[in-house]
Every structure is written in structure tokens, then in C-alpha cells.
Amino acid sequence: MNDLSLLAGYTTLVDVLESNRGVDRAVTYVEGENSERRVPYGDIHQRALGILYHLQAMGAQRGDKMIIFLSNNEQFLDGFWAAICGGITPVPLAVGISDEHRHKLLRVARTLAGPGSLLGKPLLYTDAKSLERLGALAAEVGETAVFEDLKARSFLVETITDISRPGKLHRPTPADLAFIQFSSGSTSEPKGVMLTHGNLIANAQGATAVGKYNDQDVTLSWMPLTHDMGLIGFYLIQFANRAHINLMPTELFVRRPLLWLQVASKKRATLTCSPNFGYRHFLKVLGDRRLDGVDLSAIRQIYNGAEPISVALCNEFMCALAYTGLKSQAMYPVYGLAEASLAVAFPQPGLDYRWIRVNRHKLGVGSTVEVNPADARDALELVCVGRTVPNSELRIADASRTALPEGRVGHILIRGPNVTRGYFGDPEATAQAIGADGWVDTGDLGFLHEGSLYIAGRSKEIIFVNGQNYYPYDLENIAQRAPGLDLNKVVAAGVARPGSQGEELVVFVLHRSSMHEFLPTAAAVSRLINEHTGLEVASVIPTKRIPKTTSGKVQRHLLETAYVDGEFDADLKELKTLRESQAGTAAVSGTELETRLQSICETALPGKRIDVHDNLFDIGASSLKLIEIHENVDREFPGLIDLTELFDHPTIADLAKHLESKLKTPPPAGA
């Protein structure tokens, strides 16, 4: 089918849902290797109206905001479409596992209760367990009033029994708000990107024009539906194109990453996606194995975005899977963000992904990019993310928002019918991001080379050392090559101590075991950065926590402030003493193992006191948190425990005994 002519008939998401209720297509919810549920497009339409009836019966009205707080993909999408059909604005929020996700929900609820909602209070679409946990947190943090308002307007999915009666459909206009994406912003001040029906349709048309999606496509995604790539890129846009849609829960991918491409082979998927994290996790679990019987020759595009793209990781992934028939042209690096309703720049399909080497020291705003520097230590590889998609404009600009020519680094600004009109309830943030001429500052830096876009970093995350500009991600990417480290566990920062004449480079490393075990890590990080950049690292500091926003962005300033305030002085002094003495460590007993594992688990699950006999699943440990726990167990006891073994030994006591047998140490007294 001519997809552009199909999409030309849509003006709103309601059009998308209604126009496709009679087509022979379905959304398949993959729950396991041999477990899935197929829901035809027509049933999705019927369920949306049936659930809308119940929402309206409880008082929901057009113009209300409805927080969707569910981890189950099918329940999430049922609620999303019901809201869309009733003129209710969905506000998807990640359930997560830690209290910070629930705390963010309470802050978002307070934001939504401001101007813009007819009844002044948001609805909450969730399940009983999540509501109970939210109430417990609200009591702890003094937010009982906000919670009680939410509880009074909460709709629990368990109560849905009869959906035979349809609700009253509201037909929106393209200018009407479709949903609010709280994809970026800190926990203390979350920012909600407002996306209209017109924004989303314009972006779907632009992405389809370049991606050449069609009704024969078979898609597969494990990305969370609270993320724009998951909800917009691999659901709404594909639904509009009448694709065969397959969705995996994120936690299933986390627990069994190899299943992702095994399902892709079985379904003959043509489109799939992953950010850097997914490729790294997949390869780590794959190891030296081969995926028997897996044929990936049908895949024409694996979308790579959502976080900085590593050229080395792309190459490693494609090389490791070449035997499956995966075409080199399938790797598809792209650039987008919620403010653009997702897509900003796509490469030309069917070509090999490409990259260039640039001088890492010449990437400041206004700098002319130096390609292929003579000194290898100056070289930084940046991947090409293509050209602007239709319905979107892009400008590389200086600090005054004046356009810069090709080859010069600048702020990436976007404009067009796909671009947001601002942040909900936050005129200050809106004014800061959007100029009088309508150009939106993405917060990213980039440049054009031979007509294509390359991302150079974030505008506010620059380290200045010895008169040169360095990007933290660049240095972190180098440091994570140290044995046992991971990109998400390293933070590079430039810190100026009071009275100093400039910044010094400090690297924070997530580490929760002994200082003695940290010594070789610190040495390796310093050596790697010095070898690759010529920079001297002032300090490599162990930290038990890397503060992040709910969208996963590192809050560097909190670590920098703690360093300047002397919070790490004692650790640095101990490291210095150990470095001089090279003292050994004592053998580990079984009881000590439990204590160390308990510390790891409680650090990953802040605010929880975990008994050694508590089942991690019973206390709400998500698969993503189990990965974090596993990575830190692996850091203390390298190579002894596989991720899957945490599922087989879900209590600290069981895991300690299992680990003890691996270490071949005597059992603890009385065991």
C-alpha cells in the first residue's frame, strides 16, 4: 500500500484508531518464548470505547489529564486509547521500582492540577498494588493530600469486567492536546512535553516518508511505552501504517535479552530497535555463544537511538550477528526527542551506517570541526544520523540562535508541525527552550557534514580542562573499557575547587565493595583516559550511588558539589594509604557474604530495609533493578554469578549460599 496516501487521510489519533478497526492486523503481546496474546486492531477499538464508558461513569470529562501508571503493555494501551477517544489527555509515567518513580508521580500530579484541567485534579489509571505503594510513599514524604486527591479519582484496571457498552466518543482537532510526555527533566522539576494530534500525525508522515514503512512490515519492540521510541515510533506510527506489531515487556528483554532476536527470527520481523544499553546487555549475555536457528535476514532496519550512539558497539553487535544473515545496512542510527514527537533526522535506508573521526578538542560551540586529526589521541568517532525528516526543520546555531554554516558546531534547534508548543504548566521552561521565531533548543550540540547531522554532545555537559573542551560521555566511554566497568557506572566531571585556577578532571565510579578492590579499577581508569586523551585524571572516586533523574540522566552537579564539599575526602585518604601499603584482604565468610549482598540490594532499592530471607520479587524488584544488583555482585565477585541465577536464587540468603559454593569457602558456623 502507498503509505503516504494512507497517512494523508489522518488528522488525529482518533482517525488512526477508527480507520483501521476493520483491517486484518493485530498487536501481539509477547510474554515469553511460547506465550503471547494476539489482539486484532478492531478489538483495540472496541476495548477503548468500552473502558471509556467506565471512565466517564466515574466522572472523567473532556480536557482532564489522566496519569497512566502501569507496567503491563496491554493494560497501558487500553487505557491510553480510552483516554484519547474521550478527549482525556494521557500522561504516561514509568512505574519503575524505586521510590523516586512514585515521588515523580506525585510531583507530576501537582503540576497537572494547575491550569488546564477542567476539574483541576488529574485521574490515575493504575492497579491496586501500585496505588497501595504510592499511598505508602506519600505518607512517608508528607504528600498525603496529593495522594488522597489521586485516590479519589483513581481507576483500577482490576475493576474492568464488562466493556460491552461504549463510551461517548470525542472527535478532537489537530490542534488539541493528544498526550503529555514527561520524558526529560529532574525528579524535583519534571517537564511535560505537550504533543498535539497534529504534531504526532506530522511526525508519523515524516518518519514514514523516509523509513518507507508499509502494511507488510512486522515490527518488534521491547522499549517501554513510557518512552517516545516505544510508544510513538514502534506503536502509534506502526499502527497508522497497519503493520503487524509485536511488543515485548521491557523486563522480559532485561531478563532474557537473547529472546529479543529469537522472537525477531520467528516472527520474520522487518523493523526493531534498541538504545546502546540494549546492544551492550544483549552482547554481554550472549558471550561467545551462537544463536542456533536464528535467521535475521528479514530485518531491514534496527533503529538505534534514545541515547548517545557508540560506533564501537554498533560494529561489535553487527559483527557478532553477521552469521544470522543480519545485513550490515540494517543498523539504523537516528536522532530524535520527545519535543519533536520523536523523529528529527533519519539516514537514507538501505545504506551502511557510517561515521567520521573528529578532533575531540574542537567541538565547542562555533568551532570548525576537524576531521581525521593527525594525533590518534585526539580522535573521536561520531555516527551519522542522517538528514531532517519531512515536516521538520533543523538549524545549527550559535548562542544567539543565529544559524551556523556546515562544518561548525552549534546548538541543535528544531521547528515544524511535528514540534511541541511547550511544556505543560511551565511557561518559564517553555520560554527558555522556544525562541520568538519558534525554534526549539533541543539541548544538544551538533554539526552538519556533507549535509548530514552528527551529534557532538549536550550543551550543558562540557568539561573544561587545560583550555580545551571535553564531553563527559566521551571520557566515560573511554573509562568504561576498564575491566568490570560499564558506561552507566562511570561519571566524568570537571570540578573547580574554591581558589583553584581552573577545573580538574574527576571520575566517579559506582563501587560498593572494599577500597582495596577499588585500587586496580582507579588505576585502569586513569591510565585509559591518559592514553586516549592525554588528560591527567585528578581523582578516581568510588561512590555508592550515581544520582539520576527519573529519565535516567546523570545529575553530575550533585557529585561535583559533594566532591567540593569534602564528602569523599575520607575515602580518598583511605585509598592513598592503601595505595602506599597495598594491604591484603581477609577471606569472606558466609555471614559476610550476606551482609555484602544485603548492602548491594539495599543500595539498588533505596528506602527499603531488606531481610536476607525476603524474596526480591515480592518486595518489587524489577528486572532492571536486578540487572543493577547483578552488575554490582559481578563487580565484587567477577564471573561467578550469571544474571539468570538471581532469578533462581531470589533471596539474599539463597544467593549467598550459592555464591559461597562458587567461592568454595567453608559454610558459616551453624549452617
Helices (H) and strands (E) in the chain, counts: 23, 27
Task: Give the single-character DSSP code of 637.
Answer: S
Contact 456, 446 (CB under 8 A): yes
Q: What is the mean pLDDT of residues 553-563?
A: 83
Concatenated DSSP letters for 321-365? TGGGT--GGGEEE-EEEGGGTEEEEEPPTTS---EEEEETTS-ST
Distance CA 221, CA 552 (A): 20
What digits encode the pLDDT tens for the residues 448-473? Answer: 999 999 999 877 666 766 545 577 87
The residue length of the chain stands at 671
In the chain the domains, ranked by start, together with CATH numbers, are: 3-255 (3.40.50.12780), 335-458 (2.30.38.10), 463-581 (3.30.300.30), 590-663 (1.10.1200.10)
Neighbours of 665 (CB within 10 A): 15
pLDDT band for 514, please (50, 70, 90 cuts): confident
Q: What is the mean pLDDT of residues 33-44?
A: 96
Nearest CA among 629, 69, 174 for reference residue 417: 174
pLDDT band for 583, please (50, 70, 90 cuts): very low
Q: Name the phi and psi angles at 76, rounded to 5.
A: -60, -50
Q: What is the mean pLDDT of residues 597-604?
A: 84
pLDDT band for 584, please (50, 70, 90 cuts): very low
Q: Is the pLDDT of residue 507 over 80?
A: yes
* 50 or 100: which leads in pLDDT: 50
pLDDT band for 498, please (50, 70, 90 cuts): low
pLDDT of residue 102: 85
pLDDT of residue 236: 98
Contact 542, 515 (CB under 8 A): yes
Question: Across-strand partners of 39?
Answer: 27
Q: Is the pLDDT of residue 501 over 80?
A: no
Q: Which residues of 526-535 are buried (b: 16+ CB within 10 A; e: fewer)?
A: bebbeebbeb
Tell me the three-class secondary structure of 552-621, residue by residue: CCECHHHHHHHHHCCCCHHHHHHHHHHHHHCCCCCCCCHHHHHHHHHHHHHHHCCCCCCCCCCCCCCCCC
Distance CA 637, CA 422 (A): 48
Highest mean pLDDT among 9-13, 486-490, 606-610, 635-639: 9-13
Q: Is the pLDDT of residue 98 over 80?
A: no
Percent of the chain whose pLDDT exceeds 70: 88
Predicted TM-score of the model (pTM): 0.77
Contact 296, 261 (CB under 8 A): yes
Q: Is the pLDDT of residue 244 over 90?
A: yes
Least reliable range by pLDDT among 95-99, 110-114, 593-597: 95-99
Average pLDDT, the chain: 87
pLDDT of residue 534: 65
Q: Is the dihedral of CA 358, 360, 361, 362 positive or negative?
A: positive
Q: Is the pLDDT of residue 40 over 90?
A: yes
Contact 628, 610 (CB under 8 A): no
Q: What is the mean pLDDT of residues 366-380?
A: 90
Cβ-based burial of 83 (10 A; exposed 0-12, middle 13-18, buried ≥19): buried
What digits encode the pLDDT tens for the residues 402-419? Answer: 999 999 999 999 999 999
Least reliable range by pLDDT among 264-268, 304-308, 430-434, 442-446: 304-308
Contact 118, 86 (CB under 8 A): no
Q: Which helix (H) or strand (E) element contains residue 53?
A: helix 41-57
What digits encode the pLDDT tens for the residues 349-363? Answer: 999 999 999 998 888
pLDDT of residue 671: 38
Q: Is the pLDDT of residue 192 over 80?
A: yes
* 45 or 658: which leads in pLDDT: 45
Instruction: Characterize the bridge pairing of strands 504-510 and 387-388.
Output: unpaired
The radius of gyration of the chain from alpha carbons, rounded to an integer in Å, stands at 25
Q: Where are the beta strands (DSSP E) in 188-239?
A: 190-196, 218-221
Contact 418, 199 (CB under 8 A): yes
Distance CA 333, CA 539 (A): 34
Distance CA 636, CA 647 (A): 19
What digits encode the pLDDT tens for the residues 638-671? Answer: 878 876 677 778 889 999 988 888 886 444 444 3
Distance CA 651, CA 616 (A): 6
Nearest CA among 456, 374, 373, 375 for reference residue 408: 456
pLDDT band for 184, please (50, 70, 90 cuts): very low
Concatenated DSSP letters for 215-229? TT-EEEE-S-TTSHI
